[in-house]
C-alpha cells in the first residue's frame, strides 16, 4: 500500500451518518444568525395571531386556561411550520435547484441529510417557540403549574421525534408527487391548525374526530403538555397523559420506520431510473 493510500481514510457506517447530520445541520443554524429580520418576524407574526385568539376568548368570557392554551399552541406552530416547509417540501425544492442528484450520488443516506436539516431547524425553531412562550406569558400574565417535569420532557421529545419522522415521510411523498408538493403544503397548513387543537382543547371536538386527528403527533403532544402545565389541564384533556405518551412512542417508531423505508425506495428508484432527480418542466 502506498503512502497516499495509507493517508486516505473513508468514513462509513454510523460515523459517516453522524458527520452527515452535523454537516447538514450547520448551515441551518448559522443561516438563522445571518438574517436577523427573519427571527423578528417569526416571533412577532405568530404573537399577533395568538393575541387575536386571546382577545376573542377574553371577550366571550372563556376560562382563563384557554389563554394559556392559545399561547402554548402559538409556540408549537413554529415546529409545524418548520416541518411543513423546511422538511416536507425540502427534497422537492432540492430537485428544482438541481441539488437532489448530488444527494443521491453522495455515499451518505438521504435520511441523514434530512435528519441534519431537522436538527438544524429544530434549534432555531425551539428558540422562537421559547420566545413566543415567554413574551406571551408576560403579556397575558399566564400562571403555570407543572405537575411532572420528566413527563413534560418525555412528551415534548416523543412529539418532536414523531413530528419530524412524519416530516421525513412527507418529504418522500411530496417529491414523488412532484409539483403537487406546493399545493399539498398549502392544503395541510390550516386543517392541521384546526384538528390539532392549536388554539383550543382537542376534547372540544367529537371523540372520533379527535381520535382521527391524533395521527398528527402535535395533537396528542399539545394535549399532554397542557395537562402537565396547567392546573385544570387534566379536566380538559382528551386522553390520560400515560396513554398519550404510549401513543406518541408508537407514532415515533411508525413514522421513522416508514420514512426510512420510503427514502430508501426513492433512492433506489432515482439510481435505477433517474426520473426522480430529473426536473421536467
Contacts 24+ apart (CB under 8 A), 10-16: 10/107, 12/107, 16/107, 16/108, 16/112
Q: 14 versus 5: which is more confidently predicted?
A: 14
Residue 194 pLDDT: 84
pLDDT above 60 for 225 = yes
Spatial contact of 133 and 72, defined as CB atoms under 8 Å apart: yes
CA 190-181-280 angle, to 5 degrees, is 160
Residue 150 pLDDT: 92
- When pLDDT is averaged across residues 49-60 and rounded to a whole number, the result is 87
CA dist 246 → 197, 210, 250, 253 (Å):
20, 17, 6, 11
Is the dihedral angle over the CA atoms 57, 215, 72, 32 positive or is it negative?
Answer: negative
What is the H or E stretch that residue 133 is in? Answer: helix 110-140
Among the ranges given (4-8, 96-100, 221-225), the one the predictor scored with the smallest mean pLDDT: 4-8
Spatial contact of 129 and 78, defined as CB atoms under 8 Å apart: yes
Residue 198 pLDDT: 85
- When pLDDT is averaged across residues 28-47 and rounded to a whole number, the result is 73
The most confident of 61-70, 200-209, 245-254, 256-265, by mean pLDDT? 245-254
Residue 274 pLDDT: 65
What lies within 8 Å, CB to CB, of 118 at 6+ separation is: 87, 164, 167, 168
Residue 253 pLDDT: 94
- When pLDDT is averaged across residues 249-271 and rounded to a whole number, the result is 86
**pLDDT tens digits for 115-147?**
888 888 788 788 888 888 888 889 888 888 888
Q: How confident is the model at residue 281 (pLDDT cuts 50, 70, 90)?
A: very low
- Residue ranges of domains in the chain: 13-273
Measured between alpha carbons, how far is 55 from 236 in angstroms, rounded to an integer? 21
**Which of 157, 147, 166, 165 is CA-nearest to residue 245?**
157
Spatial contact of 176 and 51, defined as CB atoms under 8 Å apart: no
Q: 110 versus 163: which is more confidently predicted?
A: 163
| Mean predicted lDDT score pLDDT of the chain | 81
How remote is the C-alpha of 265 from its chain's centroid?
A: 23
Residue 1 pLDDT: 47
What is the H or E stretch that residue 107 is in? Answer: none
Residue 153 pLDDT: 92
Share of the chain above pLDDT 70, in %: 88
CA 268-274-280 angle, to 5 degrees, is 135
- When pLDDT is averaged across residues 229-254 and rounded to a whole number, the result is 89
**pLDDT tens digits for 79-99?**
887 787 777 777 777 777 777
Measured between alpha carbons, how far is 182 from 175 in angstroms, rounded to an integer? 10
**pLDDT tens digits for 150-180?**
999 999 999 989 988 888 888 877 777 766 6
Q: 109 versus 9: which is more confidently predicted?
A: 109
Residue 7 pLDDT: 59
Q: Count Cβ atoms within 10 A of the Cβ of residue 207 and give its class: 0-12 exposed, 13-18 middle, 19 or more buried.
A: exposed
Residue 64 pLDDT: 81
Amino acid at each position: 500500500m502506498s503512502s497516499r493510500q495509507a493517508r486516505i481514510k473513508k468514513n462509513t457506517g454510523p460515523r459517516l451518518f453522524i458527520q452527515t447530520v452535523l454537516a447538514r445541520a450547520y448551515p441551518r443554524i448559522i443561516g438563522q444568525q445571518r438574517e436577523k429580520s427573519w427571527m423578528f418576524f417569526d416571533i412577532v407574526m405568530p404573537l399577533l395571531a395568538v393575541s387575536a385568539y386571546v382577545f376573542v376568548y377574553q371577550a366571550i368570557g372563556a376560562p382563563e386556561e384557554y389563554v394559556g392554551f392559545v399561547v402554548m399552541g402559538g409556540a408549537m406552530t413554529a415546529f409545524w411550520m418548520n416541518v411543513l416547509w423546511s422538511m416536507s417540501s425540502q427534497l422537492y425544492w432540492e430537485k428544482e435547484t438541481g441539488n437532489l442528484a448530488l444527494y443521491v450520488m453522495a455515499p451518505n443516506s438521504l435520511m441523514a441529510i434530512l435528519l441534519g436539516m431537522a436538527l438544524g431547524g429544530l434549534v432555531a425553531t425551539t428558540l422562537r417557540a421559547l420566545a413566543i412562550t415567554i413574551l406571551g406569558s408576560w403579556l397575558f400574565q399566564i400562571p403555570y403549574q407543572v405537575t411532572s417535569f420528566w413527563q413534560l420532557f418525555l412528551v415534548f421529545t416523543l412529539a418532536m421525534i414523531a413530528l419530524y419522522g412524519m416530516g421525513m415521510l412527507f418529504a418522500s411523498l411530496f417529491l414523488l408527487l412532484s409539483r403537487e408538493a406546493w399545493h399539498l403544503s398549502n392544503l395541510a397548513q390550516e386543517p392541521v391548525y384546526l384538528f390539532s387543537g392549536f388554539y383550543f382543547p382537542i376534547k372540544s371536538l367529537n371523540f372520533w374526530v379527535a381520535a382521527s386527528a391524533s395521527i398528527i403527533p402535535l395533537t396528542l403532544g399539545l394535549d399532554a403538555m397542557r395537562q402537565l402545565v396547567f392546573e385544570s389541564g387534566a379536566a380538559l384533556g382528551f386522553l390520560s397523559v400515560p396513554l398519550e405518551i404510549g401513543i406518541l412512542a408508537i407514532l415515533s417508531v411508525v413514522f421513522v420506520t416508514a420514512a426510512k423505508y420510503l427514502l430508501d425506495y426513492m433512492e433506489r428508484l432515482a439510481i435505477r431510473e433517474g426520473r426522480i432527480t430529473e426536473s421536467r418542466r
